[in-house]
Amino acid sequence: MTTRPIAVVGASAAGLAAAEALRRFGWTGPLTLIGDEHRLPYDRPPLSKQLLHGTWEPERLLLRTKEQLDPLGLDLRLGTRATGLDVAARTLTLDTGERLDCAGVIIATGVAARTLPGADALTGVHTLRTLDDALALRGRLAGGARRLVIVGNGVLGCEAAAVARELGHDVTLVGHDPVPMAAAVGTAVGELLAEEHRAHGVTLRTGTVDGFDSDGDAVSAVRLADGGTPGSGGVATGGEEGTRLPADTVLLAIGSTPAVGWLGDDPALDTTDGLRCDAYCAAAPGIYAAGDVARWEHPVHGRPLRIEHRMNATEQGMAAARNLLAELAADGADAQERRPFAPVPYFWSDQYDLKIQAYGPTAGADRVETPVLDRAGRRVLALYGREGRAVAVLAAGLPPRQIRALRAVVATPLPWAEARERIDTATAAG
């Protein structure tokens, strides 16, 4: 057997799942796990919820302790960055100057938080992607009541807003879309979320950030280019052009950028919106990707998807590991077929005591219907379609058994009418 290692770049949930799967599926050779943070792999969803709230401490986020990792026999490189990849030679370059000649590489570098011009120079302006980010923001919020402006009303911004309000802070949530999470869940569900946030005292604004005001080196306000126009359903109005939102703390939750810059411009790789892979999670021979960074050809949906959800990270890490080993063993006695990665995407979001769950890719739908929409009872069921077929379903406030049954409706995209009939049957059954 070759003595060259398999390298997993990214000590993330996807990277850890890949490393463990490589051992489980039979790789006995050297195995290197590279992570740019100095921390052991940890779980990210609690960063904007339990960790930020203070109900969990960092140790609880660890996916594995050092003792649990020891049996894997990892060459663990924490606090180390990969700075280049020679695709043809499968050689990694590290920021230490070392070059690793690899049998195979799995890329699980995730994403980086977007920021805005001028933000880095100001005290009180935060992003929320890493554990250190979350601890810094938690420390800021622990210093007494804050005027917190959250720029970005997607999932992360909404979850952080809910936590900050529960902690007693004055929260303003600003987004391009008139209702929260509109790009992911559609207008009807977004309006329900808007009502939930308003009921808990969050001020909602629609606008584009033009910059920041400061008092010395500390942020003092967020400036909106369009005056903070009102969103739907009674969102607080702005008024004149150039509205200022007073703030002593700002969270930028404006999305993320796939961490592919270190790969350079090798023509063998397509790094447009993540690392493009085939249905087997392969970006090139011997080079695979998993998690938030991977944009792969979903064999069921027939289009490339890049999914920034926790469940997908683990599942794709395992799939990439299995398929890489199948490729490496293709000419040997242990040869096995690669398998397309065809999950039913799943995500959840907790905001106050409302739990939202969704199966399938909700974003990019060209048709959305809400067979159940009870705003007073905080119950919703939404069906999402694309090109005449139902591709996703979202629910909140329904019995767990009923929500689980909805997964089967979109496991394989069905004609819209058939899916709608199944939804009606499932909801009628209670």
Could you write out the DSSP letters of every residue in 175-223?
A: ESSSSTTHHHH-HHHHHHHHHHHHHTT-EEEE--EEEEEEETTEEEEEE
Query: In degrees to the nearest 10, what's the CA dihedral of 252, 254, 259, 260?
Result: -140
Distance CA 315, CA 88 (A): 27
Question: Helical H runs in 257-390?
Answer: 310-328
Residue 311, amino acid: M
Per run of 10 residues, the mean pLDDT along the chain (length 430 residues) is 86 98 97 98 97 97 97 98 97 97 98 96 97 97 91 97 97 96 94 96 95 96 74 37 88 97 94 97 98 97 95 97 94 75 95 94 94 90 95 91 85 93 78
- What DSSP state is assigned to residue 5? P
Give me the pLDDT at residue 334, please: 61
Residues 228 and 103: beta-carbon distance below 8 Å = no
Measured CA to CA in angstroms, residue 57 lies from 42, 50, 62, 131, 388 at distances of 12, 8, 10, 10, 46
**What pLDDT, on the 0 to 100 scale, is given for residue 323?**
98
Residue keyed to tokens 């997993």: 8
- Residue 127 exposure: Cα atoms within 13 Å on the Cβ side: 14
What is the model's pLDDT at position 123?
Answer: 96
Nearest-angstrom CA–CA distance, 394 and 355: 11
The number of residues in the chain equals 430
What global pTM score does this model have? 0.93
Quote the tokens at residue 76: 């663990």
Which residue type sits at 362?
A: T
